[in-house]
Structure 1
Amino acid sequence: MAETQHTTSYYAASANPTPSRPPLQGRHETDVCVIGAGYTGISTALFLLEQGFKVTVLEAVKVGFGASGRNGGQIVNSYSRDIDVIERSAGAQQARMMGEMAFEGARIIRERVAKYNIQCDLKNGGVFAAFNEKQMGHLQAQKKLWERYGHTQLEMLDQRRINEVVNTDRYVGGMLDMSGGHIHPLNLVLGEAEAVESLGGIIHEHSTVTRIEQGAKPVVHTDKGQVVANFVVVAGNAYLGNLVPQLAAKSMPCGTQVITTEPLSDELAQSLLPQDYCVEDCAYLLDYYRLSGDKRMIFGGGVVYGARDPANVEALVRPNLIKTFPQLKDVKIDYAWTGNFLLTLSRLPQVGRIGDNIYYSQGCSGHGVTYTHLAGKILAEAIRGQAERFDAFASLPHYPFPGGRLFRVPFTAVGAWYYQMRDKLGF
């Protein structure tokens, strides 16, 4: 049976009121048809509407149903593979362009929140936490790299300083990025969707796209209607399925798990994260956590390759919560859920064009909150005929997983096991 509502998450339970959006029926025409009402699709639609385009968005379930409404809610800069990797693989010129864009997504989020008065519990400050001196060395190199690209809101934290911002003895230090931060992710995309509609954009929920008819004016089909457009934007990411087979070949949906505690007392919440920053650690399969607006601990981590739903999310995540904060050993878990992100072999986003008028962006590889907002801007620029920044992403090489679709899950899981062992052994 097809899902018709958001997953049973803390975010869905605390979502701002949102209007009913009826399914697509009949045949309609528009300038741009966007497939997917998550961050990428809604961000693209909003940028296009601000430039005067007519836009229709088709969503299979509800706005923010996928990763945009399930993620850890952390504003983390750059990409899943950092700019130095792009320098080595693509060259200095392309790295310069992508480096200049690496911190733009966080600015776009803050601009959207301010411009459209989006209520999403925005807080500033994000910490990268190191378990050992080797990881501290990586953070020091990252700080120098980011500063080389003009990002200066960074501070190295020694053990005394990190203990002032995270009340745990697990870390030897870290790095604070004050342009990072955290938000209620579902309320962010719901607010952006309302902004789309305020500018005349149309959003149809419960409108699963069944096929895209290519041509000079592509036709996007659902069970009950069609949208004829000048351009199509494919923004389904990990929830796209096999709608566009050539996009599925070089990516793999993966699941990550999140739990949320009952509300904590003000005193306990303040003692755990005194500055209310969000935190992610430096392990390969990292943990990430923060406080919600109503003082719950939101704690996530782990990866399920192939995006299967675990039988017991709490059992997977709670041990790491308690290891980090023994103070919470008796706390009740109110919500536990899983959400999918799309992994690429390079860990860099896949951006491109099919024919002359079908655009796509996918494969954020776990760094989606900021990148997807940037993606909306560069997709809109390309549709307007300004493709230089789009081309910087589109020219990145992407490869299929070794062994094809049959072996991509075990291949990636073996690789993850190797890096987990490196983390545990400290080398």
Structure 2
Amino acid sequence: MHVAPSSYAGTGAHIDSYYAASANPAPERPPLVGDHETEVCVVGAGYSGLSTALHLAEKGYRVTVLEGARVGWGASGRNGGQIVNGLNASLQTIERRYGKDTARFVAGLVMEGGDIIRERVKTYDIACDLKHSNIFAALTGAHMRELEERHALWRGYGIETQEMLDRDALRAHVRSDLYVGGMIDHAGGHLHPLNLALGEAAAIESLGGTIHETSPVISVDTDAPRPVVRTAQGTLTCKTLVLCGNAYLGKVVPGLAIRVMPVSTQVMATEPLGAERARALIPSDACVEDVRYILDYYRMSADHRLLFGGGTVYGGSDPRDIVAKLRPNLDKVFPELKGVTIDYAWSGNFALSFSRVPQLGRLGANTYFAHGYSGHGVTGSHTFGRILAEAIDGDLSRFDVFASLPWYPFPGGRTFRVPYSVIGSWYYGLRDRLGL
């Protein structure tokens, strides 16, 4: 039995972001009050929890989701909204670290998350401004060689949705003089992330599932034959428990807290630029990210704002001035936007694993978990939600592959993981600046 601190989310209301300001209407769901039972309890109404719950509800399971704040309050409602295929750890890294068989297995599912999202949007008529294609932009010749290596390797595994772009070809998608070329993934895309989460929550309820908001979990008992989850006002006993708190699970389960580190990233939204000006900057309306270690990522919203993100703060704290942190990079990418008004700026945490590979596993016989997407959670969470649902339904074939991969603690443990990671980011940032 582990007891956690009080709620991390204040009133539980969404933070002041562009996404919250433009969110679709959604009901306020009541907290868990009293003692209840369910077949499957899912902790966390972000993408991992929602994906798991929706897959299980579609299979006929009785599912209850507990969320400490509002649906999509964490990273799932604050991220850059980019559908980027792959894990944070590249296929090159996975092949080198775990062998070709594991790399072949991962290659077989790295496109799955985007397909799940598109299927969900279509099946449940989710209004989330879904658009197609993402760009990887190169600032140096070394970056181009890295992309060419990735392109060749992915083609070797049968993935042929990517296309290399020289400088002129890239300008048909991104009108910035900063880049020497890039690569487009035609199977990528972008969307309004909070509205996707809200739509998936509504889909779960349409199939008979239950969601309790403002119900932060204060303890879990994973040793009992039927796991018990306790909130401030109630308990939920279940046959199967799924922990999907990711960066916001806190210390509820210390054995999971040591596996990942919260890292914050920042996003800001400009004033509406108008259709003509937006099209002049990103003609194809694809989303863009560069290939540096600490990268910029950006896209146009449905109402023609530039949503521009980047930066990292290890440990998950918010920078004092988000606009001051991001504005210099925006001005380098699009100098013509100097002086444009920034209407929103916000921050949020993702969970970083030391290996940069997401982690799936079990605690005891009846408690499952997924976390550690390391900044690639939009697609990965949807895939891993399906894999968790498969495992709970009796098909452990894909779950066991990921569960068997070794995980590594951050050097120095919780005390020194932040300074260690900062030193690493300085090193890779220097390599980026030197064009290595």
Scaled by the length of structure 1, the TM-score of the pair is 0.99
Which residue of structure 1 aligns with residue 422 of structure 2?
413
Q: Deviations over 1:72-110 (max 9, x none)?
A: 000000100012212222222222212101110010000
User: Structure 2 CA distance, aligned partners of 1:274 and 1:161?
Assistant: 12
Which residue of structure 2 aligns with residue 164 of structure 1?
172
Which residue of structure 2 aligns with residue 39 of structure 1?
47
Q: Does 143-152 or 212-221 show the bigger shift? A: 143-152
Q: Does 291-300 or 210-219 show the bigger shift? A: 210-219
Q: Deviations over 1:49-69 (max 9, x none)?
A: 000100000000000000000
Which residue of structure 1 aligns with residue 265 of structure 2?
256
Q: CA deviation at 1:282?
A: 0.9
Secondary structure of 1:31 counterpart: strand
Instruction: For 1:152, give the aligned amino acid.
Output: E
**Structure 1 residues 268-307: aligned runs within 5 Å:** 268-307=277-316
Q: CA deviation at 1:148?
A: 2.0
User: Structure 1 CA distance, aligned partners of 2:175 and 2:410?
Assistant: 40
**Structure 1 residues 200-219: aligned runs within 5 Å:** 200-214=208-222, 215-219=224-228
Instruction: For 2:368, give the aligned amino acid.
Output: Y
**Is the CA contact 2:265–2:310 (under 8 Å) kept in the aligned structure 1?**
yes
Which of 54, 77, 83 is the matching residue for 1:75? 83
**Structure 1 residues 28-107: aligned runs within 5 Å:** 28-107=36-115
Scaled by the length of structure 2, the TM-score of the pair is 0.97
Asked if residue 364 in structure 1 is aligned to residue 388 in structure 2, the reply is: no
Which residue of structure 1 aligns with residue 163 of structure 2?
155
Instruction: For 1:426, give the aligned amino acid.
Output: G
Which residue of structure 2 aligns with residue 423 of structure 1?
432
User: Structure 1 CA distance, aligned partners of 2:11 and 2:87?
Assistant: 31
Q: CA deviation at 1:190?
A: 0.4
Asked if residue 134 in structure 1 is aligned to residue 152 in structure 2, the reply is: no
Which residue of structure 2 aligns with residue 323 of structure 1?
332
**Is the CA contact 2:134–2:288 (under 8 Å) kept in the aligned structure 1?**
yes
Which residue of structure 1 aligns with residue 4 of structure 2?
none
**Is the CA contact 1:98–1:392 (under 8 Å) kept in the aligned structure 2?**
no
Q: CA deviation at 1:150?
A: 2.2
User: Structure 2 CA distance, aligned partners of 1:283 and 1:231?
Assistant: 41
Asked if residue 231 in structure 1 is aligned to residue 240 in structure 2, the reply is: yes
Which residue of structure 2 aligns with residue 7 of structure 1?
15
User: Structure 2 CA distance, aligned partners of 1:394 and 1:280?
Assistant: 30
User: Structure 1 CA distance, aligned partners of 2:383 and 2:60?
Assistant: 19
Instruction: For 1:205, give the aligned amino acid.
Output: E
Structure 2: give runs of 5+ residues left out of the alignment: 1-8
Q: CA deviation at 1:311?
A: 1.1
Percent pairwise identity: 56
Secondary structure of 2:356 counterpart: coil
User: Structure 2 CA distance, aligned partners of 1:345 and 1:280?
Assistant: 22
Which of 232, 235, 244 is the matching residue for 2:253? 244
User: Structure 2 CA distance, aligned partners of 1:100 and 1:149?
Assistant: 8
Which residue of structure 1 aligns with residue 201 of structure 2?
193
User: Structure 2 CA distance, aligned partners of 1:87 and 1:392?
Assistant: 14
Secondary structure of 2:272 counterpart: coil
Say what the alpha-carbon RMSD is for the aligned residues. Answer: 0.9
Q: Deviations over 1:145-167 (max 9, x none)?
A: 21222221111100001112111
Instruction: For 1:133, give the aligned amino acid.
Output: G
User: Structure 1 CA distance, aligned partners of 2:290 and 2:140?
Assistant: 11
Q: CA deviation at 1:250?
A: 2.0
Which residue of structure 2 aligns with residue 108 of structure 1?
116
Asked if residue 339 in structure 1 is aligned to residue 348 in structure 2, the reply is: yes
User: Structure 1 CA distance, aligned partners of 2:210 and 2:332?
Assistant: 46
**Is the CA contact 1:72–1:298 (under 8 Å) kept in the aligned structure 2?**
yes
Q: CA deviation at 1:321?
A: 0.6
Secondary structure of 2:352 counterpart: strand
User: Structure 2 CA distance, aligned partners of 1:149 and 1:220?
Assistant: 42
**Is the CA contact 2:12–2:73 (under 8 Å) kept in the aligned structure 1?**
no
Q: Deviations over 1:116-137 (max 9, x none)?
A: 0000000001000000111111
User: Structure 1 CA distance, aligned partners of 2:122 and 2:210?
Assistant: 22
**Is the CA contact 1:40–1:373 (under 8 Å) kept in the aligned structure 2?**
yes
Instruction: For 2:266, give the aligned amino acid.
Output: Q
**Is the CA contact 2:66–2:213 (under 8 Å) kept in the aligned structure 1?**
yes
Q: CA deviation at 1:239?
A: 0.6
Q: CA deviation at 1:384?
A: 0.8
User: Structure 1 CA distance, aligned partners of 2:129 and 2:141?
Assistant: 34
Q: CA deviation at 1:16?
A: 0.2
Q: CA deviation at 1:7?
A: 0.7
Secondary structure of 2:183 counterpart: strand
Instruction: For 1:325, give the aligned amino acid.
Output: F
User: Structure 1 CA distance, aligned partners of 2:406 and 2:137?
Assistant: 31
